[in-house]
Chains A and B, each alone.
Chain A
Amino acid sequence: MTSQERERAYRALSLARALDDRMWRLARAGRAHFAVPCSGHEAIGIGYALAMRPGVDWLAPHYRDLAALIVLGMSPRDVMLCFFSRPSDPNAHGRQPYAHFGSRALHVLSQQGPQPNHCSHGVGCAWGSQLLDDGSVTVIAFGDGGAQKGEVHESMNVAAIHKLPCVFVVHRNGWTQSVAREDQYATQTLVARAAGYGMPGIAVDGMDVEAMHAAASEAIERARAGGGPTLIDAACVRFMPNTSNDDDSRYRDRAEVDALRASGDPLLRARALVDAQFAAAVDAENAALADDAAEWAEAQPLGDPATVADHAYA
């Protein structure tokens, strides 16, 4: 990574964390319906978002991809409109809860509820790139919980058969809400699956933004060059409960999570890559941005019932 990229990475990570913190607190205070924390996952998305060509490449996002969306250009106010489910939210227009990202302008495919149905959509998107011959690559991100679904198997198989220009990234935090890794899959990691489809696999520390960026860059350029898809197994820790509706004290030891956080927080690790004064200034700037965004978005109007059926059809 260039020093400029490191600064961009830190700026995005710091903003994602600031927004994440505020959304969690606001949801807990009953000011919004639903928060989906991304802390612990940020470096993964920043890694591939920085490696993508803006306005060219496509992202079929994971629902913990807030940091990637920030890199791709989503503003804090737009994030907060999504969080408060306002009709002016450019992601889901008040029709889907928070974290169902999507933006045609930013080349982010619309996210759905059932995980991870967007895998095959991403494969279709990559197939479109191949048919249109526009040189674009699609990054398809999902969790290790979602990776257990047949959807992912079918999608990776088709992408490999046709050497489609896409990259599969599994955010492997070891939990499917409350279900632990050993009850989801029998292996320690998922990278070996790549070989089963005849595609390269890369195992990476997903909390190391530089390592993640290197892995994503390699995979994206291989896809762009016609080398077909790659599976990136990005290990991370989910610092927070699954969502604001989850109570993780029922199934995991908070002290263990705190220890992992203390030793491996991607924010702290990214901070070490930039000047301390720069980091402090960015943190202060982002705190103000997040506060402004939350305050502003909450004040935006709710939906008009007369419009609820709009856009059912063209």
Chain B
Amino acid sequence: MRELTVIEAVREALGDEMARDERVVVLGEDVGKLGGVFRATEGLLERFGARRVVDMPMAETVIAGVAVGLAMRGLRPVAEIQFADFIHAAMDHLVGEAAKVRWRTGGDWSCPMVLRTAYGGGFRGGPYHSQSVEAFYAHAPGLKVVAPSTPADAKGLLIAAIRDPDPVLVLEHKRTYRAIRGHVPEGDYVVPIGRASVAREGRDATVLAYGMMLHESLAAAESLASDGIDVEVVDLRTLAPLDRATILDSLAKTRRLCVVHEDTITMGLGAELCALAAEADVLDVPPVRVAMPDIPGIPVDDVLEDAVLPNRATIRDALIRLVARERTRAHDTPRARAFDSAIPQASSIVEVALPAEHTRVAVDALVEAAGAFPRCNATFAWTGIVEHPDVVVDLDLGPSAPARGLGTITLVDYGADGSDLAIPFVRPGQTAAVRIGAVRDGRAYVACAVDHRAVDGADVGRFLAAFKAAAERDRRLRVTAHAG
């Protein structure tokens, strides 16, 4: 199988299309004798002559504007802006003109132009030779934006762009030009605009990426495979219009989203992709974005540039965080079961069979239940909940023998003169208190109050059930829950 680098694939696409269609002309700075600063147009001047391969003045506005005019006349201009950083002078023609011509003339005119430019950092180009500009242009309806990552897509998407009836901005990541090599089909090879591809299949999370970040994302995904994290990586390929179907299919499967781009984070493509996922309601946990921080430029300093650009390590870290995220959405949280046989129906009050003299039985049952549910034998503090290793029962037997305020749990029991049912107060430093009502006909209501900052309501029910079971065990007394 024949392998090419990305830049060789771009060159092949240009040459093939110029040979196939004589309406195709190439224009830009240094595209002639020099063959382009990245050599994308190398050899084209010799093959096709100076009429069709035109060196332009250093004037980005007119490069784009002339391409608009050529396209309106029915030619197929392929303009090159050396660095995406210089494209802003051409923006008026791309966004104000090329993108609008067809719409503003009710379809009478069209603008089938291509503008290629090299974008992206990672090679110490500094703030004016490293920018990612896709968000500005993907925001302009009427314009199509493609960003190939592989040599095959670089060829197939460029050919599709040249043949497209509408204006297409082709963003070529300059680091991929020579770093990425791969199989490229020979001859006529078109990759349809508007279709993403699944570069790596996985179950646990989806990465959406393009350009050099696609390769960094794939490396991160590979490194996580041995940890049992199975990441799907989708190569967007076309940034406008987005391939919503492929993106949403992947998210419907993994339900976790990580977007990676070199562009700065705020209002970047990731914002739109996260919104797309949110609106489609396909995520189980909040998405993560791995992108450049919001600083005005990419610094040229080796350490600083490496610090601001995403890479396989930062993507890997983000994926680990993403996969570890708890499901936060209510409807995906496993619901409490409708009936838990361990919880009596009136879960903060139970009816317990007790003899008239029952203090020892009750204390033993409380110790046993508290041992089984240590959150009810604890101290709450904002720094954490301390569960006590021992159960110290603070007995409150009424005005003559009140609780001493010590102990880890309080048992209130005023005997036969007390009320049938009363709610105890939880004392400071404790998380639970239990009160036994007056025994009538061998039975008493037992109520429990807790500090809900420490103890869940369901556990109160389970705790009382344990108390009841312990109090009635081996005494062959009838066990009934209050049917309340």
Using a CB–CB cutoff of 8 Å, the interface residues on chain A facing chain B are: 60, 87, 90-93, 95-96, 100, 102-104, 109-110, 112-114, 117, 119-132, 150-151, 154-155, 157-158, 161-162, 310-314
Contacts and interface: CB of A to CB of B under 8 A. Distances in A.
B287 to A, nearest CB: 28
B75 A131 contact: yes
B105 A154 contact: no
Contacts, number: 139
A193 to B, nearest CB: 16
B432 interface: no
A295 to B, nearest CB: 24
Nearest to A89: B106
16 contacts: A90-B108, A93-B104, A104-B108, A110-B104, A112-B104, A117-B65, A117-B93, A121-B66, A124-B70, A128-B73, A131-B52, A131-B70, A150-B61, A151-B62, A157-B59, A311-B107
User: What 5 A-B pairs come out closest when comparing CB atoms?
Assistant: A124-B69, A120-B65, A93-B106, A128-B73, A154-B62
Nearest to B71: A124
B166 interface: yes
Interface of B: 25, 51-52, 54, 56-57, 59, 61-62, 64-75, 77, 92-93, 96-97, 100-110, 141-142, 144, 164-166
B109 A121 contact: no
Given A95-B104, A124-B70, A124-B73, 15 more contacts: A95-B103, A100-B104, A109-B69, A109-B72, A110-B105, A120-B93, A122-B69, A124-B72, A125-B73, A127-B66, A154-B61, A157-B59, A158-B57, A313-B102, A314-B164
B97 A112 contact: yes
Nearest to A119: B65
Contact of B70 (A112, A128, A155): A128
A95 B52 CA distance: 35
Contacts of B107: 310-311
Contact of B72 (A121, A150, A157): A121
A30 B70 CA distance: 39
A215 B90 CA distance: 33
Contacts of B67: 124
Given A154-B62, A161-B57, A124 B108 contact: no
Most buried by A among B77, B103, B104: B104
A311 B107 CA distance: 5
Contacts of A162: 54
Nearest to B27: A127
Nearest to A88: B106
B101 A110 contact: yes
A273 to B, nearest CB: 35
B62 to A, nearest CB: 4
Contacts of A96: 104
B104 A127 contact: no
A121 B165 contact: no
Given A120-B68, A151-B62, A154-B57, A132 B73 contact: yes
